[in-house]
A = this chain, B = another copy of it.
Amino acid sequence: MLKGLLSVLLVLGTLTSTMGKPEKTTVKKEKRVPQTLSRGWGDQLIWAQTYEEALFWSRSRNKPLMVIFHLEDCPHSLAMKKAFAEDKEIQKLADEEFIVLNLMYETTDKHLSPDGQYVPRIILVDPSMTVRADITGRYSNRMYAYEPNDIKLLLSNMQRALKFLKTEL
């Protein structure tokens, strides 16, 4: 994780290293592409920006929240992102029934890392603001990790999060 963060910083360092260049503005900066909130996990989804915002939406719209932790230089995250973004069923369900949030930095809420901080990690949260630690993936050492092969498991886990919701109501 730390290594990941450092890489992010290195990248940023490169991007902003125009600082300290000669005063004259003849140095043409390359135009940056605006960052998106989706970060490639589904441009058509409506992403919450922060955990606070996501919790607010989840409560007020009575939809479960899906929090995706990832890093842009982590090959497992990238592979999962591709699978997630290309899976039409996942995208449709996420769009219609979930509040979605993708984060590259951990929050202060320890409930979001029931078995540690690693990426990729997908945590489902009930609208009652309870982390659904019971909804896990396939790996006993990293219970909330998913690989591209697990995409159907993720889909069924999303459906479980919804079913629980309906049973409770």
Contacts and interface: CB of A to CB of B under 8 A. Distances in A.
A141 interface: no
A57 B13 CA distance: 11
A35 B50 CA distance: 13
A56 B97 CA distance: 33
A70 to B, nearest CB: 12
A28 to B, nearest CB: 13
Nearest to A108: B52
Interface in A21-37: 29, 31-32, 34-37
A129 B163 CA distance: 43
A61 B106 contact: no
B56 A5 contact: yes
